[in-house]
A and B are shown apart, each in its own frame.
Chain A
Amino acid sequence: MARYIGKEMSRVEGIAKVTGRAKYAAEFRVPNLAYGFIVSSSIAKGTIKSIDTREAERAPGVIRVFTHLNAPKFRNDPQDRSFRALQSDRIYFNMQPVALVVAETYEQARYASRLVKVDYNAEKHQTDTEALLASARDPSHGRGTRVRGNPEVALREAPVKVEAEYRIPIEHHNPMEPHAAIAFWEGDRLTIFDKTQGVYEVRRHLASSFGIPEEDVTVISPFVGGAFGSALRPNYYPTLTAMAARELKRPVKIVYTRTQMFAGHGYRPYTIQRVALGADRSGKLTAIIHEAVHNTSSFEEFDDNTTGFARQVYACPNLRASLKIVSTDLHTPTWMRAPGAVSGMFALESAMDELAYALKIDPLQLRLINYAETDPESGKPWSSKALRECYLLGAKKFGWEKRKFEPRSMRDGEWLIGWGMATGVWGAFQAPAAARITLRADGTAHVVSATSDIGPGTYTAMTIIAAEFLGLKPEQIKFELGDTRFPRAPLEGGSMTTASVGSAVHGAAMAIVARLLDLANRNEDSPLKGAAASDVELLDGRLQLKSDPSRYVDAFDLMKRHNLNEITETFEARPSREREDYAMLAHGAQFVEVKVHSELGIVRVTRIVEVTACGRIVNPKTAHSQEIGGVVWGIGMALQEATEVDHRYGRIVNPNLQHYHVPVNADVLEVETIFVEEDDKIVNPLGVKGMGELGMVGIPAAIANAVFHATGKRIRELPITPDKLL
């Protein structure tokens, strides 16, 4: 039985974080550091007519002011259309960098940034997705429109149907840590400390931008103070930082302000969806039409895959799911926690609730009636799917059977009570990943992989997995990440890190075992003679036969006998071929109680039970933390979050935490997260699925459905603020 996998463990890096020993990108001490401050454009579209940097250059401490006129050009990379700053006089979006002031101190740089005078030739911009719908187009590399059966006919003939539009505003990630980089050059070799979810991605981006070999770039990112997708793409500040450091021949640091983050790393796009559902009178779905349109920038395509997962949720023979994009004069959107899924499921799961009321069927029953026993999209069997168990357990824990069907039928004094539910879905992705283990004869192990830990607990999970399969105690393991000198790992995104990197750590541990067995069996008298690597395991320093632990070799004695202080194995784990025969998803069910003030329209989310099935749970402590975090994100999306753009100026008006609301402690009341574990032998050797995104996917719909139940008002445009409920 597992000794550590599945048992609660506190974060191994927790003490370092709370004592400040953990160093984030902007905190590294580098001698002779200069500070850069980005000057942002004040128009959304046009060109720079003139830029006067003289006063800024004369300001105290200023070393140089870079603009498009004197900044070197980055190498053009057709594979990478991401925005690079100071390359021309063209303005593509508001708050685009137009200059970089570098000075001896941060304060001097920031002050001098106010002295840069820019004149523009403004052009007519359009930042309003609603005004551009006529120009909506298929993404050129997108998944296009998917059709199964004959949805239009099925909808027309359906005895019961619902159809509605849903809107989600632009939202920004707002991690606590602002994006930051420190760069320095040693000859033609670049080292950069960066806030990123993928050091190898940043390395490729920088090497390509500067036209230097990837091996000459080192990216270091041991700790990330939250990212949620905002540090998946390299963003424009690492190239800018490295450029300034190279030109000035000294280390340079750039840190975004909170406001700059709003135009510095992308956002969840403005998304309009139309959902039409048809069903027979028993509630069986006969047609699903799910269309989405969202914005992208004028220079780059972004595809949020809004309607992707929604195709696989319900058994329905007729479906059309499409996504179109429009080009706005805003920065490019990017992935934001549960990208596409939470947007698509807000619309689909709101529509399912509307259908439940049209049919007068309990919303949970409607989901069970349409339960997909196999993948409706591919027809493949599920590798595992415990969604039904999630529904039933969640309903039981929540007390769903006491729900009165009619809206406005439950009350607590001035407060209307509403109970709503929804389904959550996410993938069970795995990408190629490598890890290296060095086992030392002193009984410790050093495990490394160039993954990231943006908060989910990767440090801890990998320590647990290494301890499990090396048979050591967690305190004997040192796991390191976030460094391009370590073996390659994918971006920490899409909730695939434990599946990908965990499988690599597992594989490397297995390689260590095989190596030790090989060493042991060089001895004619080995008690393990004839055993295959899969027959043995390491446990507390013994390499032993699984079937008969009395037959063992002391692994560390063995190493010493061979004069080996340490042995090292690197392993790259790849998704198995077997995965192709199955459909793989993680699922969840959310049950929400809201109280809505009958007079004031204030919504309080008083109770949430979330049950998720995402394979095996490596560390319940951090896993619950993930799901609770997802729930809080769902509350924010449902009730508060909205990036407001004044389209006259094409400019975000609330780029700060006083005006852009995220939930505060007082908004988060009772949250219970429960896992239904799945024994999945297909997904990967560890049997783990994605969970970080999953936790929020159904929450906005469940809250909106609960608000409907409380008030009788169906709010189809997020966020649900009090004014919409008067």
Chain B
Amino acid sequence: MRPFKYARATSEAEAVQLVSATPTAKFLAGGTNLLDLMKEDVERPTQIVDLTRLSHLAQIRPTLNGISIGALATNAQVANHPLVRQNYPLLSRAILAGASAQIRNMATVGGNLMQRTRCPYFYDTAMPCNKREPGSGCAAFHGLNRMHAIFGYSDKCIATYPGDMANALYALDATVKIRGANGQERTIPIRDFHRLPGDTPEQDNNLQHGELIVAVELAKNDFAKHSYYLKVRDRASYAFALVAVAAALALEGDRIKQARVVLGGVAHKPWRSTEAEDALVGKEATEANFRAAAEAAMKEAKPLAHNAYKVELGKRAIVLALQRAMDETI
């Protein structure tokens, strides 16, 4: 990797200040993604600000209205936390569907939100990629795009967001708490956190440079009884999703009061299907209604040369995830 300066932050303010001061600075948390990308010469930060000593950012604690998960809590800590397992089993399941035990022990909640695409063209500096090098072109668009987006892509970029955890956070309407360059805190609703590629695929999300994720907050909800995370992948573990579905239902009597259907592996961000959700609300939790929701979810899909299978697979995965959300009552 290229030489870089290293600083260990002793406070949030210092961390933010250090990164803000240098346009090519980066925060370092678990390092499971950033260090790999630095070795491949994809990321080229000149300054690394190590957050890992900011232990207060690793806390997971109940709030009046739910739970606050510190940005430095590891994936393993979050997935195994009793409050998460009890009140947000969808989140626990999604995290455990990702990566490997070793990586989950290192990877953090904040870092996971920042995870960059796994598009192979993004990883190889010998090939064009607008996300890595704006203006160089998208090699994947007419290339090997079996793993790529079917929703929301542009002619500049067809990459997918690779994470699992965020799919659950989208379904659970999380809020991302951020400390800004001016020391102010602000919040971003999770649905607005990641971006679609548009003309600026180099920007994965809506953070400003220097802004630090300090926590992810979840409000109480009625989804704990009926939720499921279904991930379809090429091998049983340690593989990115072909399609993933975070499904959650809240029932009132026989009727669906609230529904969440978020798809992973299909877009540049977790793809919340309001079409599927709208098709479910007010209906009974029947297979026919789930199928209708799945059809609605995939109606606008625009597959590429090698990923048309995601449309059919996505429909089936949605139906199954909703069925299991009903079956696996806690």
Q: B residues within 8 A CB of A42?
A: 126
Given contacts A600-B316, A722-B313, contact A661 B235 (CB under 8 A): yes
B313 contacts which of A94, A600, A658 (Cβ < 8 Å)? A600
Minimum CB–CB distance from B29 to chain A (whole Å) comes to 19
B232 contacts which of A110, A600, A640, A646 (Cβ < 8 Å)? A600
Q: Chain A interface: which of B11-19, B188-196, B197-205, B236-244?
A: B236-244
Q: B residues within 8 A CB of A541?
A: none
Q: Secondary structure of the B side of the interface?
A: loop
In whole angstroms, what is the CA distance A52 to B312 when docked?
A: 51
| A723 interface contact, C-beta 8 A | yes
Minimum CB–CB distance from A38 to chain B (whole Å) comes to 14
In whole angstroms, what is the CA distance A659 to B239 when docked?
A: 8
Does A722 lie within 8 Å of B2, measured CB to CB?
Answer: no
| B82 interface contact, C-beta 8 A | no
Q: Chain A interface: which of B20-28, B49-57, B138-146, B219-227?
A: B138-146
In whole angstroms, what is the CA distance A639 to B237 when docked?
A: 14
Q: B residues within 8 A CB of A659?
A: 118, 120, 123
Does B313 lie within 8 Å of A726, measured CB to CB?
Answer: yes
Q: A residues within 8 A CB of B253?
A: none
Minimum CB–CB distance from A202 to chain B (whole Å) comes to 29
In whole angstroms, what is the CA distance A349 to B210 when docked?
A: 60
Q: A residues within 8 A CB of B239?
A: 661
Does B234 lie within 8 Å of A640, measured CB to CB?
Answer: yes
A664 contacts which of B41, B238, B309 (Cβ < 8 Å)? B238
Given contacts A111-B3, A600-B316, A726-B313, contact A661 B121 (CB under 8 A): no
Q: Chain B interface: which of A309-317, A457-465, A522-530, A648-656?
A: A648-656
Q: A residues within 8 A CB of B100?
A: 664
Q: List 16 A-B contacts (CB under 8 A).
A: A110-B1, A114-B2, A599-B319, A599-B320, A601-B313, A648-B139, A651-B127, A653-B120, A653-B143, A653-B144, A656-B123, A661-B234, A664-B236, A667-B235, A667-B236, A723-B146
Q: B residues within 8 A CB of A667?
A: 235-237
| A666 interface contact, C-beta 8 A | yes
Q: Secondary structure of the A side of the interface?
A: loop
B120 contacts which of A110, A639, A654 (Cβ < 8 Å)? A654
In whole angstroms, what is the CA distance A648 to B238 when docked?
A: 29
Residues of A whose CB lies within 8 Å of any CB of B are 42, 60, 94, 107, 110-111, 114, 414, 599-602, 604, 639-640, 644, 646, 648-649, 651, 653-654, 656, 658-659, 661, 663-667, 721-723, 726
In whole angstroms, what is the CA distance A110 to B39 when docked?
A: 9
Does A723 lie within 8 Å of B143, measured CB to CB?
Answer: no
In whole angstroms, what is the CA distance A42 to B41 when docked?
A: 14
In whole angstroms, what is the CA distance A112 to B127 when docked?
A: 20
In whole angstroms, what is the CA distance A656 to B237 when docked?
A: 16
Does A651 lie within 8 Å of B232, measured CB to CB?
Answer: no
Q: A residues within 8 A CB of B3?
A: 60, 111
Q: B residues within 8 A CB of A723?
A: 146, 242, 309, 313
Q: Which residue from chain B places its CB closest to the CB of A653 in the assembled complex? A: B120
| B155 interface contact, C-beta 8 A | no
Given contacts A111-B2, A651-B126, A656-B123, contact A666 B309 (CB under 8 A): no
| B300 interface contact, C-beta 8 A | no
Q: Which residue from chain B places its CB closest to the CB of A257 in the assembled complex? A: B39
Mark interface residues in B68-88 (1 if CB within 8 Å of A CB, else 0): 000000000000000000000
Q: A residues within 8 A CB of B146?
A: 723
Minimum CB–CB distance from B316 to chain A (whole Å) comes to 4
Mark interface residues in B123-135 (1 if CB within 8 Å of A CB, else 0): 1101100000000
| B150 interface contact, C-beta 8 A | no
Q: B residues within 8 A CB of A110?
A: 1
Minimum CB–CB distance from B251 to chain A (whole Å) comes to 23
In whole angstroms, what is the CA distance A94 to B240 when docked?
A: 27
Q: B residues within 8 A CB of A599?
A: 316-317, 319-320
Given contacts A604-B236, A651-B124, contact A111 B309 (CB under 8 A): no
Q: A residues within 8 A CB of B313?
A: 600-601, 722-723, 726
Mark interface residues in B204-228 (1 if CB within 8 Å of A CB, else 0): 0000000000000000000000000
Q: Which residue from chain B places its CB closest to the CB of A663 in the assembled complex? A: B235
